[in-house]
Structure 1
Amino acid sequence: MHVTMIGAGYVGLVSGACFADFGHTVTCIDKDAGKIDRLRAGGIPIYEPGLDMLVASNVKAGRLFFDTDAAEAVRKADAVFIAVGTPSRRGDGHADLSYVYAAAEEIAELMDGFTVVVTKSTVPVGTGDEIERIIRAKRPDAQFAVVSNPEFLREGAAIEDFKRPDRVVVGVEDERARPVMTELYRPLFLNETPIVFTGRRTSELIKYAANAFLAMKITFINEMADLCEAVGADVQQVARGIGLDKRIGGKFLHAGPGYGGSCFPKDTLALVRTASDAGSPVRLIEATVQVNDDRKKAMAGKVSGAVSGDLAGKTVGVLGLTFKPNTDDMRDAPSLDIVPALQAMGAKVQAFDPEGTHEARQLLREVDFKDDPYAAAQGADVLVIITEWDQFRALDLHRVKEIMKAPVLVDLRNIYRPDEVRSRGFKYVSIGRA
C-alpha cells in the first residue's frame, strides 16, 4: 500500500519507518526543509534506539521517502496519516489543533480517489468530526473516510512498541476504511495482536484515558513514597507487594521526581479541559496534574535538605536532564523545574546527560554542562540523579567520593541500594525509603 505521513517528527518518523518495514511504500512529509535534507542524507533528527538503522534499511530498499511537497505523495496514497504536533495551548491548556486542521486542508486539496485520512496525532474527542467537516467543505466531491488511530509509543522503546504492541486501536465511522486499516496492520496479525475497532470518538478518548491512567498510577506511587518516608516504610517493597496483584500490575509503579515528557503532561491537561467543557469533570486527573506539578517543584527541597537546608554558594552535580532515559526529549522534564529551583536557592549547577545536552542548552540557563558523569561530580557538594540512564547505575563510587567536595548522593530514581552507597562513606538520600 502507499502511505503518506504528514509530519516527520517523533510519531511520524517512527510510524513511517515501521510501516515501510512492514512492506508498504511510505513518504514522510515535513515543512522543515532542513529536517528533510538531513533525513535524505541519512541523518536522524531525534534520538531513538534503532531508528537510524531502520530508516537506512528501508530507504535503501526503496520503500521510505522524504519530501517537503505533499502533492504527489497524497495523490498516490491509500492512507494519509496526520502526525503533527498537538502541544498544550498557551493560557487554557487545551490541545492546539492548528497544525492538525492545516494538514486536513492540505490533504483535501491534494486527494485523488478514495483516501483514508488517519489521525495519528493525539487529539481531543470530536477532532475527527471537525477534520471530516473541513475536508468535506473544501472538497464536496471527495471520496474519503476519516479514521482515528492513536499511537501508544514509549520514547526509548518506540520501534518495539509499534511492531509488538499490546493492541492497535482504530476508530471508524465509514466501513470502507476498515479493510484499508486491516491491510496496513496485516503483519501484526501474525503476532495475534488485538486490533480493536471502535467508533471514532471512542478511539480518541481511549488514548487520553490510557495516558491519564498511567500518569495517575505514577502519581499514586509517588504519594505512597512520601508516606513511606513519613512512617519508615520502603516504597520499592510496597510497589512490588501491590504490583504482583494482577489487577494492579508492576509497571509505572516506580517512585521518582514526577512524570514529564511529550505525552502525559499535555494529555492529562487536555483531558481535564475536555471533561470540564463537557460538564463532566475528571477530579482524579485534576488532582494528578496538580500533585505532579507540585512534586517536581518540591524535589529541590529534598536536595537542599541533604546538605542541612542551605545551598547558597554550593555546587550541585546533576546526572540526567531528559524526562526519561534513551531519549533526547526535554519536554516537561522534571529537571526543568528542579535545576532552576536549585539555582534560586543559590546553588551553582553542573550537569551531564548522555543525549539531552543539546536540547537542555536551549532551556536551562547558567548551567555548566559537562562531558561525562565524573566531570559533573567533580568538586560538587552534592550529586543528584534525576534521570535513570543505564550508565549511572554502575558509577565508580570510590572515584566519585574522591572527586566530590562532600560525599552526598541524592538519588531521585532509587537506582542504588542504600546500604551499598552508605557503606562507601556517602550520605545517601532516596525516594520513599527510610
Structure 2
Amino acid sequence: MGEPGARGRFGDYGGRYAPESLVQACREVEEAFREAWRDPGFRGTLAGLLAEHAGRPTPLTPARRLSEALGVRLYLKREDLTHTGSHKINNVLGQALLATRMGRRRLIAETGAGQHGVATATAAALLGLDATVFMGERDIERQSLNVFRMRMLGAEVVPVTSGSRTLKDATSEAMRHWVGMTADSHYCIGSVIGPDPYPWMVKEFQRVIGDEARGQFAAELRTGVPDLVVACVGGGSNAAGTFAGFADTTARLVGVEAAGGAGAARGRVGVLHGCRSLFLQDGDGQIVEARSIAAGLDYPGVGPEHAHLRDLGRARYVTVTDEEAVGAAVRLARTEGIVPALESAHALAWVIRAAGGGELPAGSTVLMTLSGRGDKDVATFKELL
C-alpha cells in the first residue's frame, strides 16, 4: 500500500476525473503534499499536534471478557480515545497544516456521521482558519449533537437537501462549492475517495493507526503480527490507515461494510466524486442510494485502493446488517464498558459472527480498529433499545 502509479491509479482504479478548474487545484494539492511529506519539519509539526492536541498514541486495549466468550484474542485500536472522538482528526490535522502551508485560509469539508466535520471545525479553530461543512439534511437530523459541536467550534454547517440528503450528496455539494473557491480554500476530503491525490494523501495521514498498532502489537504481545486485522469501511479511511501498517505481513485484512452500502462487496466499476472505483449502480449505470444505520457508512462506493486490494485478493470485504451492528455495540458496552460508534460496531459484529461460525479458529489473534466512540449515536440507540 504505497503511492499510486501512473495517472494517480491503484491498478485500474483512481485517477483524476474532475472539471479543469479542479484538475489544476488537485495538481497544486499533490505538489504541495509531496513537498510537505518529504519535509521533516512538516512531519515533525504534525507529529507534535497529533501527540499534544489529538492525544496520540492511542492505546491497544485487550477485550478480555469478550475474547473469553468468543474464544479468540481480540485487541481494540482505540481511535475513539482521540480528541474529537474518532480517527478523523489524524487526517484533518494533516490537511489543515497543508492548507496553511499553501496559503489557504479556509477549509471546505463534507461529513456524514459528523465526526469529520467536527474534526475539521476543531483543526480550523486551532489554526485560525475558517471552516464550511456540508452535511446531508437527513444526517443533520440524526447527528444533531455533532452539528452543535461544529457550530460551537465556529464552523458554518450547510444543509444539503438534494438526493438522498446523506454523505454522497454532501460530498457532491462540497466539490461544487470548491470549484469557485480554489484560490483561497482547501477541500479537506474526509475519506480515501475523490480525485488524485486525495485517496493516497488521506491514507498517508491515517497510516499512523496501522503503524502504531503494529509497533504496539509487537511490543506488548511479542508475537509479531495478528492473524486478522479488521476495520469498518465506508469510503474507507480508517481501514486504509490500519491496513497500511500490515499490508506487507501475513495478517489477513478484512474490511466490513454496511449491508446497504457495500461498494467493495457488491459494487461495479464506475466514476463518482472524481475517481474510478467500485460503486453501487442500477442496470443503467446510475449510482444507487446507500442505506445504513451508521451515517459514516452511508456511502455507495469505496476508495480506489480498497477496490484494488479486493481485486488482488489481499483484502476481503464483507457486510453486516444494521441489526447485527446494534447487537455488537450493546455486547461491547456490556462486556468491556465501551460504547462504540455504529460504524465501528459493524467491524465488531463481523468478528462476533466469524468467531461464532467457526471462521476464526480458536485462539486467533484479532486486531480491530475502534474508529470512533458512540456518543453521537446515543439517540439512535435510545430509539432501538
Regarding TM over 0.5, the answer is no
The higher radius of gyration belongs to 1
- TM value normalised by structure 2: 0.30
Between Structure 1 and Structure 2, which shows a larger proportion of strand residues? 2
